[in-house]
Amino acid sequence: MTRKKNKPVSFDALVKFFIQQHHIPTKKDIEKLSDKLDRIEQMLKSLSSTSGLRHVPGGPGGRSKKRLSEAADTVLGVIKKSDKGVGLTEIGQKTGFDEKKLRNIIYRLNKAGKIRRKSRGVYVA
- The pLDDT profile of the chain, 125 residues, written as one tens digit per residue, is 566 677 788 888 888 898 989 989 888 989 999 899 889 988 888 887 765 545 455 545 544 445 668 888 888 888 888 888 888 889 888 889 888 989 999 999 988 888 888 888 888 88
pTM of the model: 0.46
Residue 21: predicted pLDDT: 93
71 and 101 Cβ atoms separated by less than 8 Å: yes
Give the Å distances, CA to CA, from 106 to 32, 49, 102.
Answer: 47, 29, 6
Q: CB 91: neighbour CB atoms within 10 A?
A: 21
CA atoms of 113 and 40, how far apart (whole Å)? 38
